Structure 1
Amino acid sequence: MDPSHDLAVAPAVRAVYGPQDLSSAPAFAGGFINFGHWAGIPLDRPLTAEDRVRSQRDLYRLVFGALDGADTRAVEVGCGLGVGAALALEEFGFAAVTGLDIHPEQLARARRTNAGLLARAPERLGFAHGAAERMPFEDGRFDRLYSVEAAQHFRDLPAFAREAARVLRPGGRLAVTSFFLPAGAEDAGGELAARLESFASGLDVAHPLASLLDALGGAGLTGVRAESIGDQVWPGLDRFLAGVELPVQWPRNFLPAYRDGLLDYYVVTADRPPAGA
């Protein structure tokens, strides 16, 4: 039985990445659908759409730099439009990338967005329907696994961690970047829901960082490490949003939530031990 069949998709996820098409929103110029890594982008002037696209590309670049993925086979969990996967191939020399997404409409958009690359190099880029907690791949298929700002949507972090460990080959490496509740704010889910509609609606899940780190270690991955990059994400994002006509204002509450210690942004890395280790 194909494990990608009958996947349960949270209603808010289905709507936001389906008919609402978050990738088309001005706040996510370029279609990368992440909050961006703003280091090196001057924030003392009006920010442009080009700055926004650069910030999103730079978040992917940060992740790829942590993976050392040249000439490796990788899977992106929560690939969206697949533009990050294309960046991995074209700029970082990955041998092949498979984009995995739970939303069929996103996969259709990814195939349209990357039609040229798919036609030129079908052996290097592919897309698959599946969930982070239930990946439709054989054991040890990939050298690298990464996920950029999708883990806040995952419903079961231990299941994701087990699947990540399973589909990575021995000696493989993982990198995840997203926003989590920092130490000391593990019970801040209610406060986040009061401030941020994405948590109130169920689009985002208030995962404590420790729950991801514990899950990765529990799945047998080693060298689990988290680096906070909130100071390079939230101020730049908010500065950009201040200059965009937003249909709602609650996204401006991410920066205060970070400053109040309720939320932070992290790059998390881990390794599958080599065979025999």
Structure 2
Amino acid sequence: MIREPQPIQRPIPPAVQKAYGAADLGANPIFAGGFINFGHWQAIDLDSGLSHEDRVRSQQDMYRHVLDALPSTGQLRALEVGPGTGVGTALALEEYGFAHVTGMDIHPRQVERAREANSRVLADRPEHLGFVQGAAEDMPFGDEEFDCLYSVEAAQHFSDLTAFGQETARVLRPGGHAVIASFFTTDDTPGHAEHLAAHLDCYANGLDLAHPVTHVTEALNRAGLAQTRAVSIGPDVWQGWDRWVAHVSGPDAWPRNFLRAYEEGVLDYYVITATRPAAARAH
């Protein structure tokens, strides 16, 4: 039975409402270019003096690294969960040949920003791109609507990983693929959440949640997805992010504690891949 699209049911967490509300987080120099991710810095010389162009490229390269993890993209229908201002969604459409990309964000102001940033494409090629409001745990789509699902640095906000896993499995067609990239605790050792909250404001105020990476993969597995794998890309993220934070915010900026948490073995950045089996139904 195909589920008809429904209006968003889940409330927006207060910290998410505040962070992505009146102020455009994508306009903050710490992010640059409208993207909102820590960046994939493998191709950038960190010792040469970082530029605005380097920072933008690091964030573009994060999208490319995630999308390269999909076995195929051409002429497929894709869902991006948490697209922010939509500049990464546009990159996916232009560089990877999707038939259509839908960006879904829980925050209505982010949906507005994404539509504004991509107004020309939406006007000229509405059959290829769209942005809708929806929660990762309660997606406003029919069953088996997408060939692939990807998410770049949004899953640290998801309050219910079990529901996210179930929704991911439901909206993917049999044989469809999911790729989720974000930062998670390395294991479920007690005290990780408190440690992060003591050193990082985004954990202290509840914007980011200290999900163990195993809880993410287990949620996908419980939902019926298979071939689930989590791979650390921390070496290509944390040093570059820390150098950029120091460059734009100074040596004592609190986001520099992300590198500290990584070096202490508490936190890391992962790319998680999973597949909906071709012969199985979503749970």
The bucket for the TM-score relative to the shorter chain is over 0.9
The aligned residue for residue 47 of structure 1 is: 50
The aligned residue for residue 71 of structure 1 is: 75
Matched, 1:151 2:151: no
Cα shift readout 1:189-245 (whole Å, capped 9, x = no counterpart) = 000000000000000000000100100000000000011000100000111111103
Query: What is the CA–CA distance in structure 2 between the aligned matches of 1:79 and 1:157, rounded to whole Å?
Result: 18
Query: What is the CA–CA distance in structure 2 between the aligned matches of 1:136 and 1:128, rounded to whole Å?
Result: 9
The aligned residue for residue 173 of structure 1 is: 177
Alignment of 1:19-38 (within 5 A): 19-38=22-41
Which amino acid in 1 is paired with 2:59? Q
The aligned residue for residue 89 of structure 1 is: 93
Which amino acid in 2 is paired with 1:93? G
Structure 1, unaligned stretches of length 5 or more?
Answer: none
| Secondary structure in 2 matching 1:27 | coil
Alignment of 1:198-277 (within 5 A): 198-245=202-249, 249-275=253-279
Query: What is the CA–CA distance in structure 2 between the aligned matches of 1:21 and 1:258, rounded to whole Å?
Result: 27
Query: What is the CA–CA distance in structure 2 between the aligned matches of 1:16 and 1:87, rounded to whole Å?
Result: 24
Query: What is the CA–CA distance in structure 1 between the aligned matches of 2:249 and 2:31, rounded to whole Å?
Result: 13
TM-score by length of 1: 0.96
Query: What is the CA–CA distance in structure 2 between the aligned matches of 1:95 and 1:66, rounded to whole Å?
Result: 18
Query: What is the CA–CA distance in structure 2 between the aligned matches of 1:79 and 1:276, rounded to whole Å?
Result: 29
1:15 to 5, 11, 18: 18
Query: What is the CA–CA distance in structure 2 between the aligned matches of 1:246 and 1:101, rounded to whole Å?
Result: 31
Shift of 1:248: 7.6
Shift of 1:87: 0.7
Q: Against the structure 1 CA distance between its residues 246 and 99, is the aligned structure 2 distance closer, same or farther, given a 3 Å change threshold?
A: farther
CA contact (8 A) 1:4 1:134 kept: no
CA contact (8 A) 2:9 2:138 kept: no
Which amino acid in 2 is paired with 1:217? N
The aligned residue for residue 103 of structure 2 is: 99
Q: Against the structure 1 CA distance between its residues 7 and 20, is the aligned structure 2 distance closer, same or farther, given a 3 Å change threshold?
A: same
The aligned residue for residue 112 of structure 1 is: 116
TM-score by length of 2: 0.94
Alignment of 1:189-200 (within 5 A): 189-200=193-204
Shift of 1:96: 0.5
Q: Against the structure 1 CA distance between its residues 93 and 2, is the aligned structure 2 distance closer, same or farther, given a 3 Å change threshold?
A: closer
How many residue pairs get aligned? The number is 277
Query: What is the CA–CA distance in structure 2 between the aligned matches of 1:237 and 1:160, rounded to whole Å?
Result: 28
Query: What is the CA–CA distance in structure 2 between the aligned matches of 1:210 and 1:29, rounded to whole Å?
Result: 31
Which amino acid in 2 is paired with 1:215? A
| Secondary structure in 2 matching 1:23 | helix
Cα shift readout 1:96-115 (whole Å, capped 9, x = no counterpart) = 00000000000000000000
Shift of 1:24: 1.1
The aligned residue for residue 132 of structure 1 is: 136
Shift of 1:183: 2.8
Structure 2, unaligned stretches of length 5 or more?
Answer: none
Shift of 1:20: 2.6
Aligned residues: percent identity? 57
Moved over 6 A (4+): none
